[in-house]
Amino acid sequence: MIKISGLIRRYSSLIIFIIVCIRVSAASPSTSFDELLANKDRLSINREELDKIYQYKLDHGIKNLSNFSAFLLRSSEKLIRQGKFEKAVEYSEYAQMLSPNYPPAYTNLGKAYWAQNRFFIFSMFVGWFKSLSATFTNYNFSVFLFANFLLFFLVAFLLVIAVFSIMSVCKYFKLLIHDMGHVFPSTFPLTLLVLWGIFIFSIPFFFHISIFLIFFFWLLLLFIYHSRKEQQIIIIYALFLLLSPFLIQLISNSLVTSSTGVFHQLYQVNEGNWDGETEEKLVKWTENHPSDVDAVFSLGLIQKRKGEYAKAEKCYKKVLEVDSDYYRALCNLANVLLATGKIDMAIETCKRCLEINQASVEGYYNLSRAYLSKYMFSEGNESFNRAKELDAKRVDYYSKIYSENANRTVIDLAIPLSLFWEETFKPAEEKKLFSSYIWERLFKGIPFSYCYSVLFIFLVFVCLVFINRNEFGFAVSCEYCGVAVCRRCRRLIYENYLCKQCAGIFKGKGEHTTSVKGKEGKMIQIEKYQKRSVIIGKILSMILPGAGHLWSGHPFRGSVVLFFFFFILLGLVYSSGIVVNPWQLSHTRSYGDILIFGSLLFVLYFYSISNFTNITGRLYQFLSLIKVTRKELQIKK
């Protein structure tokens, strides 16, 4: 998909530009596009020619001329590099006019304004926010935004699990080795125990299992050694694994539906950026699927925009034969009747449309035009005012572009965006295959057909929570010196997860016969362990925000901070998305994206380091106590 989108970005804009230029040239013979294309290195289109293209768009009922806008945006980028800022702004403004729902047009316009005047830095942010708003009204962009958001979420969560599992191995591997020492004979060398432990952790690699499933395997082996809070966060990780098939299906639905089958052709007609190939595919589809009212409706919309009113009327009547309450077909049929001079029939059809949908702005607006065609000014003004009450902004726009052209006299209805989203989440074989492909890349080892068998993994982790490690005598780390201790060896746990020596020194219980020299040695060991923990935590916080919290025993806060870090980092690195939108055509790097994501990363780093410093404040107090105790022991000597 990425290679295909690269080819589209490289060649399609220029090809589509030539096609559009030829079409506009036919409509406006005075515009010499052959001269413009004679030397593409000096390609320049003046405002008069751009305005003719804009009028062509309106006359043909085209909503977004995205391909030509992409060409203008690329030319604008080149002009900015050449220092021709006024022309760059002009191209960007027309790109926006030609494609009001094309997000890159707003981003590039903000960039052009900023290049023209460096004091207008907020123009970039305005362009970025307008681009985001346009994304939600453009299905091809919003569906890829949704898919990439889910991909960012999925990948970021998996990376958090990876970091947590690696840290768990670093912290608790020694405890597993300690417990294994009680299973094997006492004469068994420690080196062989370590090698045996490494072999156990490496077993999944021999079966070519996904690395993320291996991380869960490690967490399963070390689960009993984690603290209660860490066990709870592991349960959340396991719950995420349980929900991951659903996330993958959503991603697959979004990516597959937007680029396959007749669905894409319908959206092209809906947006107005259609061509002869689109019409040809729809004709073939409707011949085999005459009851597909949306396809027949879209074909009728093409015929009406082309001025072939008899064909358009036939299409809309076919739709109404299948679904008599399809009010969008009634609305557009009334427009066709009005264009062919059948005004009375147009008025009656408009009224039928409004009986079905009383909140139709288009129905009232078109009815007002039909009334005015019969000089029924009172009725026309009443319908017009009713339309304006429902949506003044939309009525004002169509009143502004009004002309005698049939595509500008009235408002033609298209398929609403909600129906495209409904189609997106309907099951299909292609979506299932793509879901299987994504699942195989992330969780190889469990077939996609058994993807919900991960429920078993979730239940295993839940069951392990109820195991009391103290009751079974599993090893723990001494909170002060970090040594592995358990009830089955001489270094007994006394209380609060302290070894016998630390309990004797700090609690006044346990080993009371330890010499002063032995106590001093223990204090040195504690000081080194605590300093090492703080230093490692600080380094981790500087490298990965939140990692230091995981290391120091704050799993919830650390996981949240680390998740946002990976999510923002993915947004910064993959500004166009992990899966590139092939319909974007113009892929200019947005300074707004860089500034916003960069600022968020800075804030996250600052919070991570400052918060970890506050957390380790108690440890510094403990280290001060250790130093004082060491001095007292030296005095006693």
The CATH superfamily assigned to 2-137 is Tetratricopeptide repeat domain (1.25.40.10)
Q: What is the pLDDT of residue 32?
A: 35
Provide the token pair at 364: 């009232």
So what CATH class is 325-412?
mainly alpha
Lowest mean pLDDT, pick from 233-237, 443-447, 581-585 = 581-585
Evaluate whether 2-137 and 325-412 have a shared fold. Answer: yes
What confidence tens digit (pLDDT) does each residue in 351-390 have?
999 999 999 999 999 999 999 999 999 999 999 999 999 9
**At which residue do the structure tokens 């002060």 appear?**
480
Q: How distant, in Å, are the alpha carbons of 72, 86, 92, 594 from that of 109?
A: 11, 11, 5, 16
CA 329 – CA 312 distance, rounded (Å): 10
**At which residue do the structure tokens 């009232």 appear?**
364
Between the two ends of the chain, the Cα-to-Cα distance in Å is 75
Domain boundaries along the sequence of the chain: 2-137, 325-412, 475-510, 515-637
Query: Looking at the predicted structure, is the pLDDT value of residue 276 above 80?
Result: yes
What confidence tens digit (pLDDT) does each residue in 532-550 have?
888 888 899 889 999 999 9
Scored b (16 or more CB within 10 A) or e, 98-130 reads bbebbbbbbbbbbbbbbbeeeeeeebbebbbeb
E runs forming strands in 321-453: none
Q: Which amino acid is at 498?
A: L
Q: What is the pLDDT of residue 24?
A: 38
What confidence tens digit (pLDDT) does each residue in 127-138 have?
888 988 888 888
CA 637 – CA 632 distance, rounded (Å): 9
Query: Looking at the predicted structure, is the pLDDT value of residue 254 above 80?
Result: yes
